[in-house]
Amino acid sequence: MEDLVIRDAEVVDGSGAPSYRADAVVDGGRIVAIVKEAAAAGCQRPTARRQLDAEGLVLSPGFIDMHAHSDLALLRDPDHSAKAAQGVTLEVIGQDGLSYAPVDDRTLAEVRRAITGWNGYGEGDIDFAWRSVGEYLDRLDHGFDGRGIAVNAAYLIPQGTVRMLAVGWEDRAATPEELNRMRQLVAQGMAQGAVGMSSGLTYTPGMYADDAELTELCRVVAEYGGYYCPHHRSYGAGALAAYREMIALTREAGCALHLAHATMNFGVNEGRAPELLSLLDAALDAGADITLDTYPYTPGCTTLVAMLPSWAGEGGPEAVLARLRDEATAERIRHVMEVAGADGCHGVPIDWDTIEISGVADPALAGHVGRTVARTAAERGEEPWATARRLLIDDRLGSTILQHVGHEDNVRRIMRHRVHTGGSDGILQGDKPHPRAYGTFPHYLGRYVRESGVLSLEECVAHLTGRPAARLRLPDRGLVREGHRADLVLFDPATVAAGSTFDAPRTLPTGIPYVLIDGRFVIEEGRRTDVLAGRTVRRTPGRR
């Protein structure tokens, strides 16, 4: 007898096709039968060891978070309800060009310091025994005492970390020998199971790579059937030029392109989403292989140190701190940020009223959290740069921020596009994280489907399931189909909603009573079980 039958569910299968009522049978971690209109047909209905009445619930594939920052959280938190409770069954990590493999001892220490604001330092609770991509993926598979992790994970090779390993933190072109080593590192990571490569081209040291260097690395990714996922060089003053650069670069390399958190932010881009979409449509119509992801909110989230000009980051974190402590150099940094517009702030002069501190590494600095830099500075009777500079130094670059620079019309227009997928860009670190970390997927279903009708239910589910699975080239995920893996979500379309808000960002969603990974309940009757069914999802070995 089969393991489970889900009765009378409204199936939204992830393809975008109209929903239908059915019984679904799960056995051995896969969907083994789908009986449409079983009750109405009067036929003998399937049986199983367990029967779940899904009357009033939608059955969909598990949601795929195309842009996640759970690189250490998956190893730190077996519960991981931030994602499991949303219905996320697969996260793509290794984002924005900075993560923890491949590394050597020096690079590991540097990258841990550089992205403390994203993931914490990991001191005391993670062993960091791996060095290669394959070893990191093996560590995820082992999970907690060999039982696995909370949700599945796929990995992108971080180009900034690769450059850190082969070149260091210098702002210069790679030598031929260094470029060859980077090619080898990318090839090794792809052979060990990575699904592609990411970049953070407003983050050091990845931003020091020129287009020729990136093109050569993308050629390697393409040889293995992967895709390139850039956080490109500007989401502000140079946004459209930055999108064009990535399209041209990947076309030259013959590599698939997935645009990370593809937004149009800052005042200079208000109302300009149609220009981006026209650019994408022209490239797609010309044969380009492009997808993108977005989160359904207007503010962004990153680290405070990311706002600095790129030259201030040369040499790594300790060099940054030394420049900040030097009065003359700190004044140069202030001028670039406040007057000229730093490349770290996307070429736009920084507005300190938009910079809200969302987390600090040092608990003694918690008084900054939830307040803009401008507000804290005014209360102290000092200029905003003085406040920001002191915080950067005292928190050793570990502070995270919310940046309130987005536009709702741009968000809505982009999410409707034919190659759009969902990604939370969820940073779980900090006392007041962005609510997208806990709410992206139910927020799509609640606000943008039920409340505003920006997307139909079938369209939205396809954006969150079938379309990202196709980008990841996963032949047996992302759809409710016989033979597919039973990574499934049951949600109530009348009540599903994000519980997280900017005031209470760690609140779990409502209206998602059941989530299954590999046919096992990780959320049951709205509560997290102790099941650890997550494993790594690796690219199929071999070159194209």
pLDDT tens per residue across span 427-453: 999 899 999 999 999 999 999 999 999
Query: Is the pLDDT confidence value at 252 over 90?
Result: yes
Query: How confident is the model at residue 122, as a pLDDT?
Result: 87
Question: How would residue 95 be classed by pLDDT, with cut points 50, 70 and 90?
Answer: very high
Write down the pLDDT at residue 40: 66
pLDDT for position 125: 84
The burial class, CB within 10 Å (0-12 / 13-18 / 19+), for 277 is buried
pLDDT class of 540 with cuts at 50, 70, 90: confident
Residue type, 217: L
Residues in the chain: 544
d(CA 502, CA 234): 25
Q: What is the pLDDT of residues 270-280, one digit of tens each?
A: 999 999 999 99
Q: Pairing mode, if any, of strands 520-524 and 527-528?
A: antiparallel
**Cross-strand bridge partners of residue 524:** 527
**Residues 6+ positions from 223 with CB-CB distance below 8 Å:** 187, 190, 543, 544
Distance of CA 274 to the CA centre of its chain: 24
Residue 541 has pLDDT above 70, yes or no: no
Q: Tokens 């069914």: give the residue.
A: 533
Supply 469's token pair.
């699975």
Contact criterion met (CB below 8 Å) for 412 and 454: yes
**Residue 63, both tokens:** 């949601």
Q: What is the pTM of this model?
A: 0.96
Q: What is the pLDDT of residues 19-64, one digit of tens each?
A: 999 999 999 999 999 999 866 666 778 889 999 999 999 999 999 9
Q: What does the pLDDT read at residue 182?
A: 98
Residue 300 has pLDDT above 70, yes or no: yes
Q: Using one digit for the tens of pLDDT, what is the confidence trace for 478-501?
A: 999 999 999 999 999 999 999 999
Question: Residue 124 has what pLDDT?
Answer: 81
In the prediction, which pLDDT does 45 show? 85
Q: How high does pLDDT run on average in the chain? A: 96
End-to-end CA, the chain:
41
- H or E element at residue 152: strand 152-158
- β-bridge partners, 23: 35
3-state helix, strand, coil in the chain (%, to 5): 40, 20, 40
Q: Per-residue pLDDT tens for 154-174?
A: 999 999 999 999 999 999 999
Q: What is the mean pLDDT of residues 385-410?
A: 96
If you write DSSP's letter for every residue of 157-193 in order, what string do you get?
EEHHHHHHHHT-S-SSPPPHHHHHHHHHHHHHHHHTT
Cα-based distances in Å from 458 to 277, 396, 465: 22, 46, 11
Q: What's the pLDDT at 72?
A: 97
